[in-house]
Amino acid sequence: MSGFVDEAQLHVKAGDGGAGAVAMRREAHVDKGGPDGGDGGRGGNVWLVATTNQSSLLPFRDHPHRGADNGGHGGGKKKHGARGKDLEVAVPVGTRARRSDGTLMADLLNAGDRWLAGEGGRGGRGNASFLSNSRRAPAFAEQGEKGHEEWYDLELALVADVALVGFPNVGKSTLISRISAAKPKIADYPFTTLEPHLGVVRADDETNFTVADIPGLVEGAAEGKGLGHQFLRHITRARALVILVELDPITGVPPAEQHRVLVDELRRYQPELLDRPRLVVGSKADMVAPEDLPAPAAAESFDRVDVSQADDRTTTDDDDATGGEFHPDLVISSITGQGIPALIGRLATLVEGARTAEPEADGTIVIHRPLPEGFTVERVGEHEFAVVGKVAERAVALNDVTTDEAADYVQSRLRRLGVDRALAKAGARDGDTVHIADLSFTWYRDQPEFTGQPASRRRNR
């Protein structure tokens, strides 16, 4: 069973808010003490936190559910309920979260990045909060708000300095095992590597960088052929690319054609990938007679301190990928070690330059969640409407709407919010049924008549 998972689902359930209390002050020598019901506590939030201690989405494959604690209920003597404990869910650096419709919600690029995946419900107010000159002894309180609940699609795009790109079985796994301590599976058949591998390369005592061994690409990968989308995703984070071309291809595809196909797939998947520094490397030089090796475009004794021409040599013009003679930047053999020191030196230079050009991370991330709106009115049937939105749902979230006092409060809140005007604009008529959260009532322009209550509740107009 594979230990690396780069796609998973996550079900988030933030904590529900606690209910407010209905209580009256009852003490000796205190006449008509008044309401003293406390507020409920807010439910806990669910946070996604990027960490380097996780390298895969495996923990979510069989156990996708994550939930925070609910808030405590309010009590008498104005005792407020305890706040629910937040839940921090660790995810690997490079994790993206999407809604089920594909909307990108967050992209956690750096260790320590946090994103609020589920907001805890607000605690309900106790009856002490409803005391006013017109309501001296309110006998109702608010229910706690439900915590945010949603399914997300998680996808992991590896964060590496260098990505190895090439056809299946061109020697990517052998190369990364030669230059790092990574031990991917190596065999003499295509698609040996079915999952990315990361290796750390130490260029000298002060310089090291990470290299990602990306599973082999085939023509049509940009359209998803051969799981191309899953593999190409891991290339998008890399600072530099190595286009690895087999000089003695067992598939019979000439080196120049391999190069053309790989560059074309990168362009079609994400055109900006071609703007990144890249090296074109011919692999398996030990399988080719010395006189048949292609002439490198740059000397193998490259001094990585002298970078005056590095940009010109490491970014191949698109015209070179259209066919004809093949002139790689380097020719290597992972078996004999030919060209390996030069490759490490040139990659270290590219990575060092890319890191220098990047702005420093400030620990903030872009939140893609749209700002919540007020409310909307939807027609759900003949003479039937639904009001959707937190502000409207909060207005009717009382523990008891059967009393005249509570009904008057709900009516006043809805009118101040503009729900009456919105219903009339949507075509609602006297006697139509309106649903707000779990509450249903018969709507009249003067005052709603709550479902299940006597008709006498409606005032004469």
What is the pLDDT, as a whole number, of residue 185?
46
Closest CA relative to residue 83, chosen from 102, 63, 69 = 69
Residue range 347-357: mean pLDDT, rounded: 88
Query: Is CATH 3.40.30.10 what the domain over 1-156 is classified as, yes or no?
Result: no
Q: For residue 306, give Cα distances in angstroms to 309, 310, 461.
A: 8, 8, 89
What is the pLDDT, as a whole number, of residue 295?
76
Q: Are 354 and 239 in contact (CB under 8 A)?
A: yes
Calculate the average pLDDT of the chain: 81
CATH superfamily ID and name for 376-457: GTP-binding protein OBG, C-terminal domain (3.30.300.350)
Residue range 215-224: mean pLDDT, rounded: 54
* AA letter at 280: V
Residue range 120-135: mean pLDDT, rounded: 91
Residue 40 has pLDDT above 90, yes or no: yes
Residue range 291-297: mean pLDDT, rounded: 78
Burial of 285 per CB tally in 10 Å (0-12, 13-18, 19+): buried
Residue 183 has pLDDT above 90, yes or no: no
What is the pLDDT, as a whole number, of residue 447?
60
Q: Which CATH number fits domain 162-357: 1.10.357.10, 3.90.850.10, 3.90.650.10, 3.40.50.300?
A: 3.40.50.300
Domain ranges of the chain: 1-156, 162-357, 376-457
What is the pLDDT, as a whole number, of residue 22?
93
Q: How confident is the model at residue 446 (pLDDT cuts 50, 70, 90)?
A: low
Segment 266-276, tens digit of pLDDT: 888 888 989 99
Segment 313-342, tens digit of pLDDT: 344 444 444 445 788 999 999 999 999 999
